[in-house]
Amino acid sequence: MVYPEQYVLNDFNSHAESRYQAQFSIMANSGLYTVESITYTNVNKQRHQADMLLIGRYYLNPGPPVWAHGNGHHIEYYMGQPTDMCEPVLENHISRIYYFTPFRLMGSTQGSSKSKRTRHTTFNFEAEVFETVVNFVLLLTGRLDHAHNSRGIDMAGKLQFACLAFEKNHNAEEAGKLAFQENRLSFQEHSGNQHTQRSSELALRGVRLSEACESSTAEITPTKLPRTVVNSTSFRVQARYGTQPASMKGQVLRFQSDVDVELAQVRAAHQEEMKNLQAQLTAQDNKTKAAKAKTVGSKKKLKAVKQENKELKDRSSVQETKSQNMIGKYGRLKERYRRAKTMLRIKRERSDD
């Protein structure tokens, strides 16, 4: 089957409209993706700058971010921080890329961030899928007007595979997380019930002992059981008489609340640090612009001096030409005077004879 030589965004929209509109709508959310302006050197060590899509990290731990660059004809991969000079990822090292969400959920072998693609039929198929997704995102964000189908593949079908695989893997991952949390809460509540039962038994023994002492003599003070402390790896229950320990679910919720507060504080600190770094970057940019403006002014002054020197040189050349003309004229006059003087002398000699 022959497929189009190039695709535009509307081609993907039309293909998804009657086939997988719901899954396509999720993938068409531009908020899922990060596109930044990256400065890089290509394989020929030439420096360039372009908008690239963040897709994952290199295999090193911790590996640098990996960016995908598409020019409408083919996809290239570069690694490095967005503020640094990024270097190309060699073609035989593409299998060392570990994909971030949502890309890691778009292929059949991308079940987790640690899954490593190998060079076989599945790898070639998924390479086509990921390149199609990169082209789609660049079309979606306005970085490309069209994507050339250099492989001659069904790019619309590859995007459909990515959307359906993302939904399937995402649902499976969320179900696994939910099952794990439910099992953990169930275990913690079961442990809490055992501690509650033990504390109730101790409290009941204390009440019975007190009643026995009161019935034997009025002068004897009721005996109180000492505070019983039951330790656990995840919590501590303190029971005294009939006091019931706190619900384990409540403790977990409070713990999660504390974690949320700490995360909010960390996030606020991170945002403040980013603001400071942005302010420093803006100040540095202003200094750079001022230096460039000063350099431009110096260049203009140098150009004016060169122009003035050229004009002086031209005037000097004209003056030198005039001087040469005057010297030539003076020489001719001098020659005429010499001839006239000679003729006058000859006339005088003839008149004397």
Residue 336 lies in a domain: no
User: Could you read off the pLDDT of 35-48 as tens digits, one per residue?
Assistant: 999 999 988 889 99
Residue 201 lies in a domain: no
Buried b / exposed e over 19-37, threshold 16 CB at 10 Å, is: ebeebbeebbeeeebebee
Q: What CA–CA distance (Å, rounded) separates 314 from 305?
A: 14
User: Could you read off the pLDDT of 185-244 as tens digits, one per residue?
Assistant: 766 665 555 555 655 655 555 555 455 444 443 433 333 334 333 333 333 333 333 333
pLDDT exceeds cutoff 50 at 110: no
Residue 308 lies in a domain: no
Q: Based on the structure, what is the number of domains in the chain?
A: 1
Question: What SS3 state is found at 217?
Answer: coil
pLDDT of residue 211: 53
**Is the sign of the CA dihedral 102, 103, 105, 110 positive or negative?**
negative
Residue type (1 letter), 339: R
Distance (Å) of CA 15 to CA 8, 73, 153, 222: 11, 21, 15, 83
Residue 36 lies in a domain: yes
Q: What CA–CA distance (Å, rounded) separates 166 from 99?
A: 13
pTM of this prediction?
0.50
Q: What CA–CA distance (Å, rounded) separates 39 from 37?
A: 7
pLDDT exceeds cutoff 90 at 278: no
Residue type (1 letter), 185: L
More confident residue, 257 or 152: 152
Residue 191 lies in a domain: no
Confidence band (pLDDT; 50, 70, 90) for 336? confident
Token duo for residue 173: 């991952």
Distance in angstroms between the alpha carbons of the first and the last residue of the chain: 127
User: Could you read off the pLDDT of 293-326 as tens digits, one per residue?
Assistant: 888 888 888 888 888 888 888 888 888 888 888 8
CB count within 10 Å of CB 38 equals 23
User: Could you read off the pLDDT of 141-168 as tens digits, one per residue?
Assistant: 999 999 999 889 999 999 999 999 999 9
Structural domain boundaries, residue 13: 6-173
Q: What CA–CA distance (Å, rounded) separates 133 from 162?
A: 8
Residue 300 lies in a domain: no
Q: What CA–CA distance (Å, rounded) separates 25 from 167?
A: 11
Residue 195 lies in a domain: no
